């Protein structure tokens, strides 16, 4: 299992993460790039800053987190820059026993941007986390085409709010009802 695409607002995401956390202990690590090897982590999804509020007008501009079991020792990736300075990336490349969670969410009360859970890793821990997430998503969200939609996002969509990957994207690319 490689990716689960979602549309959700804060209340949807909290419900989903509460279900996930009830079944397994996990931690959330901010996926980040900085000049110092700083690691920010949380034990509960409800503690994530601005959860369900998109950081930009496109899904790919939104903050991501690594989800892992608590025993994972997070390894920042050190990258030397052309000017000789160092950059430290916290991502899945050095942490294959994790999955990547991008909540995305509401953007300027105009649209709900697509979020996702995904992994590039075949490690047993990563695959186990993806299975746990898939079960929590199935329990709390409704399937619409290739996306899973949270109950509040679904209600807003049925009331006319756009569910899309980017505010700038033409509405023909928004989530559409099945024929």
Q: Show the tokens assigned to 41.
A: 């982590």
By the 8 A CB rule, do 101 and 67 touch?
yes
Q: Biggest alpha carbon distance in the chain?
A: 56
- What pLDDT is attached to residue 32? 94
**pLDDT averaged per 10 residues in sequence order, the chain, 179 residues:** 93 98 96 93 97 96 97 95 95 97 96 97 97 97 97 97 96 87
CA distance 146 to 77: 33
CA distance 100 to 29: 9
- What pLDDT is attached to residue 179? 65
By the 8 A CB rule, do 113 and 61 touch?
no
CA distance 54 to 104: 5
């Amino acid at each position: 299992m490689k990716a689960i695409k979602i549309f959700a607002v804060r209340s949807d995401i909290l419900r989903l993460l509460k279900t996930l956390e009830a079944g397994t202990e996990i931690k959330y690590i901010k996926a980040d790039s900085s000049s110092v090897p700083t690691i920010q982590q949380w034990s509960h999804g409800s503690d994530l800053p601005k959860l369900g509020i998109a950081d930009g007008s496109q899904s790919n501009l939104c903050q991501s987190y690594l989800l892992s079991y608590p025993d994972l020792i997070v390894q920042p990736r050190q990258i030397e820059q052309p000017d000789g300075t160092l950059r430290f990336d916290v991502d899945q490349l050095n942490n294959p026993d994790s999955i990547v969670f991008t909540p995305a969410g509401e953007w300027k009360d105009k649209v709900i941007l697509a979020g996702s859970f995904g992994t590039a890793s075949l490690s047993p821990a990563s695959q186990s986390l993806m299975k746990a997430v898939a079960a929590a998503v199935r329990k709390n969200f409704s399937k619409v085409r290739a996306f899973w939609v949270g109950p509040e996002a679904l209600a807003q969509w049925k009331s006319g709010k756009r569910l899309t990957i980017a505010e700038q994207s033409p509405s023909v690319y928004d989530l559409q009802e099945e024929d």
